Structure 1
């Protein structure tokens, strides 16, 4: 008996399920199928199509939400900064008021021995988008490994954020679980301690 064929790519599965469920009733006699059996297989296909389409829809909504968040933060933060600057010129403004409102920055001494990068990973347009902040360093060295393994592989040195990383999957259409970490870099030398590990599943 020939091995049954199923597409490996998620994007191809919707077309495959749609074709199968629409044409299966045409071969009811040849395949000795009852109407109940046909209805059952059609329901399987429809459930899987709906599940795939739901992910696609949610990804679109998430992307839109991220874009909206960026726009709102950029616009409103700019306006709020102007208002806060005005508050600080008020006749009865004091340092204590500023500290209570959280609008007075604290002076933090940079220590290269304890510096720890902050790194995040998110799916974005078919790639993994890595974000980080320098906070006193020239850049970061970024490392990756498969979750459950021990060896870290250097990806690249980053000096600007964000960075889009697109790994090659071992099996096309089969998601893989990645972990990332980073070290701060000053004058080509790694300093401080490793960032917290951030992880993501890529290829769904």
Structure 2
């Protein structure tokens, strides 16, 4: 048995997790020896993550591609310059003070580097904070990813897959006359940055294999195909 990653995969569950972490962290901060200013800063990161995943995301329509990208930048874009910006429309009221992009990555880093390394940290503390997930059975050695293909607003192919307890996936693409392409994705979902020449179409194929504990794991999925048209 192993412990599941502490951050849920479903957006609604992520918001619940973040709210619990926000409420419980001040209760444990002194015992864990955390620096008060650092706790204040990380709680502001949490507030931005909650707002982005709940208030802002909940106001979007399915076609708001650029808005979904700004959520991605706010949560994980630590290399994107500038502060969090809620673009595309007038955002819902109650937005917290903006922080630099990548707020959720900083929360994860703080948990790993400051909370879990504290001498007073324990499984009991982690279960209260939500930083220790439930124990789950090891995956089957013959498991293979289940995924779907869909088009992005720019006409590219997007691979939609679920992370579950795995580190990520290895992807292989058969681009026909353009050859083969392989890549690794550690966070769903993956966009293939390739299109055929303008005015032409190509049938591509894709397959996935899980990565678990840093190594290839299980079986390759069956190939799936998709038609792309150059723009």
Assess same fold via TM > 0.5. Answer: no
Q: TM-score, normalised by structure 1?
A: 0.42
Larger Rg: 1
